[in-house]
Every structure is written in structure tokens, then in C-alpha cells.
């Protein structure tokens, strides 16, 4: 099962370190084959291991700019 079978993005030039981070993130998303929500956390895995883990932002951070 592929969760993110088809996605498209607009690639723009940016700061090299941030562009590497963006590529690593999108590669990790592409590798995800399963996910589970547990205790308010989203765990995304490939066939071997945890790839990404997300936690809910505190209410005070919602809408805040990074």
C-alpha cells in the first residue's frame, strides 16, 4: 500500500540547507507505507521502521508563524 502515491510540488530555489531538508522530508513522505495515530501522535512508517512522527502543536502555537 502506498499512502502518498501521487503528489506534486512546486520546486523553488532556496537556502541550500533548507532545500536539503525539504528534499529529505518529501523523500520520507514518499517512503511511507503505513500510519497509525496513538496518544495524539501520528506515526508514519515504511516497511522496516518509523519514518516520521508528528505531535499536535499546543493551542498557543496554532496560527503562530515559525
* Phi, psi torsion values for 19, nearest 5 degrees: -65, -40
Give ∠ CA 31-34-37 in degrees, rounded to 5: 125
pLDDT for 1: 47
Residue range 21-38: average pLDDT?
Answer: 92
| pLDDT tens digits for range 17-28 | 888 888 899 899
d(CA 8, CA 34): 20
Q: How large a percentage of the chain has pLDDT more than 90? A: 38
For 6-16, what is each residue's pLDDT tens digit? 556 666 677 87
Amino acid at each position: 500500500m502506498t499512502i502518498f502515491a501521487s503528489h506534486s510540488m512546486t520546486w523553488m530555489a532556496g537556502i541550500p540547507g533548507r532545500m536539503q531538508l525539504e528534499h529529505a522530508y518529501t523523500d520520507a513522505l514518499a517512503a511511507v507505507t503505513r500510519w497509525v495515530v496513538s496518544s495524539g501522535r501520528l506515526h508514519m512508517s515504511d516497511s522496516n521502521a518509523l519514518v516520521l512522527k508528528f505531535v499536535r502543536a499546543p493551542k498557543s502555537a496554532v496560527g503562530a508563524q515559525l
